[in-house]
Structure 1
Amino acid sequence: MESCGLSLVKYILFIFNLIFAISGIGIIIAGGVVLADVGDFSHFMESGIIAPSVVLIVAGAIVFLIAFLGCYGAIKENYGMLIAFAVALLIIFVIELAVGIAAACLKNNFRMELKNSLKESIKNYTDVDRVTWDSMQKKLKCCGVDSYEDWTSNSRFSASLPNSCCMNDNPTLACQSGSPSLYKGGCFEQLEELVESSAAVLIGVGIGIAFIEIAGIVLACCLASSIKRGQADK
């Protein structure tokens, strides 16, 4: 006959895993939202900047699956499955910690790499660059890297600027440096703010999930230990 303490831990762990499964869906949604926001401008970014959101989506899917393992192990009082559940949570926690440390280390290089990528894109200006720049300048309401003057480094824009630099992007009307509808601010600062706000979302979600994972590991180990003691007493 199971003790009240064992029964209580079992049902707490079961309820925890239901919440954990829902949080897995939340992680996937958070990663998807961030990827959608920043992914439009991935042409200018290193893969390391996009990677954390992809890792978060994958981690969310794994968390969702592992939650069912924890639920089954708790209800069936299966020692092996509970230990496997705790180990799986620990592995995910270590992976998330490693991604967080890597992202923090890359942050110092991010500004320079992003700015260099934007300037190089203006210099080369392929068809892919044109589509991405037009999309970014319209969405962020900006022009050039630091200002519209960045476009003068490309001989194609010595007479006029890309039409997406002006609010009125009518192709029949040239966008000039003196146009009243010209976007005055550069795109670098706004793109950097967008990435940093997305990173803040990822960090917040990651920290919240980390606490949940630690709680899950502790509960699973407590229940597994109680089950093992109960088996030894028989």
Structure 2
Amino acid sequence: MQFSEVTKGVIKYLLFFFNFLFLISGLGILIAGIVVLHDVTDFNHFLDDRITAPPIILIIAGLLIFVIAFFGCYGALKESPKLLYAFAFLLAIIFIIEIAVGIAAITFRNDLEGILNTQLRQSMIRQNKDDMMAWDTVQKKLQCCGIDGPRNWFEKNETKEAVPASCCRPQYIDRDTQNCLNAAPLYMDRVYTEGCLSKVHDRVASKASILIGVGIGIAFIQFMGIALAIWLAQAIKKEAAAS
């Protein structure tokens, strides 16, 4: 296949344009990873490591894209096939990573409810200091109580008033004892009635959807950059061979 100077110039400028998109996508991936990681940090105690790993991988990938984009721009500017092939190779690695993150997020999202249910029930049985701190954080932030509702605490503690203060609506917390005032079933209007399992699941699942969209969506944009880099490298090599 022969490449004219015009064709080569068009490919070069297209590659510069896609490198600009790569920089933007790198920033997008970085921000998405940070936002998701920050948002699920409060629930880490109840999450499997497999669920918190994808946003960390995306953060690393976002940082790498800034470096990789340099190879594309510099390789196109210097018309260096080696740099362009290096750019395409590195971009292909990021492409595979992003596809893998997207697939992993889909898999983990499907397993999420079972993982959360197990972790929440085990922590309720243990009720050590770390468990209760995690429960208090989740119940206050998501305004929920127990796994399926406050009765989980009543049943576990074998008393009609044994719910953590974090289950209580702020206006019904005793300022002196920091306990819930009259939180027995007769006063259920004073505590959060929705369980935390569904709320944590919905919150984390929505973040998984962000990872899926960002990981897979941007990966296909990068695939076009790989094709352009290889195309331009071949054009430069053919021109050098012909001269």
Q: TM-score range by the shorter chain?
A: over 0.9
TM-score after normalising by structure 1: 0.93
Residue type at the aligned position of 1:55: I
Deviation, structure 1 residue 80: 0.2
2:191 paired residue among 166, 182, 192:
182
C-alpha distance in 1, partners of 2:110/2:206?
A: 16
Partner of 2:206: 197
Structure 1 consecutive aligned stretches of length 4 or more whose deviation exceeds 4 Å: none
Residue type at the aligned position of 1:36: H
2:121 is aligned with 1:119: yes
Structure 1 stretch 199-208 or stretch 221-230: which is displaced more? 199-208
Structure 1 stretch 149-158 or stretch 189-198: which is displaced more? 149-158
Deviation, structure 1 residue 159: 3.5
Residue type at the aligned position of 2:223: I
Where in structure 1 are there 5+ consecutive unaligned residues?
none
Contact 2:109 2:205 survives alignment (8 Å): no
Q: How many percent of aligned residue pairs carry the same amino acid?
A: 45
Deviation, structure 1 residue 179: 4.3
Contact 1:45 1:114 survives alignment (8 Å): yes
C-alpha distance in 2, partners of 1:145/1:179?
A: 16
2:83 is aligned with 1:77: no
SS of corresponding position for 1:145: coil
Q: Considering only aligned residues, what root-mean-square deviation do their CA atoms show, in Å?
A: 1.7
C-alpha distance in 2, partners of 1:98/1:20?
A: 18
C-alpha distance in 2, partners of 1:122/1:157?
A: 15
Residue type at the aligned position of 1:217: I
Structure 1 stretch 186-195 or stretch 89-98: which is displaced more? 89-98
2:237 is aligned with 1:228: yes
Structure 1 stretch 177-186 or stretch 219-228: which is displaced more? 177-186
Deviation, structure 1 residue 105: 3.1
CA gap of 1:195–1:18, structure 2 versus 1, over 3 A, is: same
Residue type at the aligned position of 2:198: E
TM-score after normalising by structure 2: 0.90
1:6-44 deviation line (CA, Å, top 9, x unaligned):
112112211211221122011100110011111111010
2:227 is aligned with 1:218: yes
Partner of 1:164: 166
1:41-77 deviation line (CA, Å, top 9, x unaligned):
1010000011111111111111111011111111111
Structure 1 stretch 106-115 or stretch 182-191: which is displaced more? 106-115
Contact 1:93 1:213 survives alignment (8 Å): yes
Partner of 2:139: 137
Partner of 2:25: 23
Aligned length: 233
SS of corresponding position for 2:190: coil
2:217 paired residue among 208, 211, 232:
208
SS of corresponding position for 1:41: helix
Contact 1:22 1:64 survives alignment (8 Å): no
Residue type at the aligned position of 1:174: C
